[in-house]
Structure 1
C-alpha cells in the first residue's frame, strides 16, 4: 500500500500549538512506567494447553460451541460442523491458511455435493457482500484469540472481508492453537508490533466473542440480534 503525502504538516501543528497558547512539543513522547500492571497478571504463566482449557470454559459462557481437533482430523470435524449447521451456502475468506490446513479440499467437497461456496474476491466489490448476506455459514481463520473473553480477532484485508463473519446466519472460526493469548493486553501489543513492522494497521480489526448478544430491553438476553445466531470455534493443534 502506498503511503500518503502530508502537506503543510508543520504549519498546521504550529498553528494548533499557537491557539493553545503553548510551544509546540517536538520531542518524542516517553511512555510512563507504572508501578502496578495487573493486566499482565491474568493467566500469566499458563501453557497453551492451560490457556485452551480456560478458553473452552469461557466459550460455554458466551453460547459458543468449541471443537478441539488435530490437523489430521480437521477435515472430518469441519464437515460435521457444516452438517450440524444445516449446510446451505458458504462464504469464506481468500486466506492461504485454508490450503495450508487442508481445508481447501473440504470446501471443494462441499461444492461437489452441490453447496454454493463463495470465496471472497475483492475484485467483485459489492457482489461479495450480497453473497455474505445470502450465506448460511461464514468461515474465517482467527488471527489472534483471547482466552479471557473467548474472542477471535480478525484482521481484514483484500481477501478477508469483514462481512464474512458478520452477515451470514452462522459463523465458524478456525483457530490455530498457537494464536491463543491470555487477553486484550497481548493482542494490543501484537497490533502495535504489526503497525511498526508494516508501517500501517489492518484496514479493520474485529473482535468477535461468539454470536451477537443483546440485553438492552428489560435486561433479557437475546442471541443473534445483529449478527450470526450461532457460532462454532474449531481449535486445531498447529504444532
Structure 2
C-alpha cells in the first residue's frame, strides 16, 4: 500500500499540545471506555428476515420501491424493475455477481427483445464510460453492504465498478443480496475497517446511498432529483 507524505505533522501537533497547556504525548494514550454503547443496541440480535422487514419499512420513508424475490425468480423481477424505470438505456458494473445471479443474460435479453441500449462499465474505455452514464436512463449496481436502519446501500468502487453508475443516470436500480443486510452504520464501518486490515487497502470510493437524490430548502420543502437519480428501486434477493 502506497502511503503519502504528511507535511508539517510534528509542528502542527506540537502547536495543539501547547494550546492545551501540556507537553505533546507520544505514548500512553488510551481509547476511552464508554459505559454505554447505544450504537450496538439498534436491532440487536435481529435475524436477517427481521432486518429485511426493517429495511423495507424504512424505504417507504425515502421514496424507494422494494421488490423481494428469490434467486430462481430474480430474472422476472429484474425485467419488471427495468420496465418500471422506463427501460431505454442501461449502464451497469462489470461485477461477477451479475453473472452469478444470471443477470448478465437478462441484460442481453433486454437488449435483444426490448431494444434497450446496455453498457457494461469497462475500465479500458476510460472517460467514455462516464459519458455513457451521463446519458443512461438506468444505472444498476449490487450493494456490498445494506443498512436496515436507514434503507441505505453501501457501494465499494474500483476500476470495474465506477461510481458514476449510481450517480449520473436518471434512475437507479440496486440489487441487494439479503446477506448484505446489517443493522446500521456501526456494523458497516466495522466491516470496512476489517476489509482494510485484511487487504491492506480501501476501495477507491465508498458511497452510502439512501434512495433517490433529494434536498430540502430552509422551509423544508422536499425536492427529489436535485443531484442524482430521480427514482430508485431496490431488489432484495433472499439468498439465504
TM-score under structure 1 normalisation? 0.92
Q: Are 1:14 and 1:24, in contact at CA under 8 Å, matched by a contact in 2?
A: no
In the other structure, the counterpart of 2:123 is: 122
In the other structure, the counterpart of 1:137 is: 138
Q: Say yes or no: does 1:167 pair with 2:168.
A: yes
Q: Are 1:13 and 1:24, in contact at CA under 8 Å, matched by a contact in 2?
A: no
Question: What is the 5 A alignment of 1:61-210?
Answer: 61-113=61-113, 114-210=115-211
Distance 1:5 1:154 in 2: 25
Shift, 1:27, TM fit: 3.4
Distance 1:17 1:50 in 2: 47
Unaligned runs of 5+ in 2: none
1:194–1:216 CA distance, 2 compared to 1 (3 A): same
Q: Say yes or no: does 1:3 pair with 2:2.
A: yes
3-state SS in 2 of match to 1:3: coil
Unaligned runs of 5+ in 1: none
3-state SS in 1 of match to 2:53: helix
Distance 1:14 1:226 in 2: 40
- Cα deviation 1:39-94 (Å, max 9, x = unaligned): 11001111000111111100011100000000000000000111121111100001
Aligned residues: 235
Post-superposition, which runs of at least 4 consecutive aligned residues in structure 1 deviate over 6 A? none
RMSD over equivalenced CA pairs, Å? 1.8
- Cα deviation 1:199-218 (Å, max 9, x = unaligned): 11111110000001111153
Distance 1:144 1:37 in 2: 22
Distance 1:205 1:5 in 2: 20
3-state SS in 1 of match to 2:81: helix
Shift, 1:237, TM fit: 1.3
Distance 2:71 2:133 in 1: 27
Distance 1:140 1:77 in 2: 15
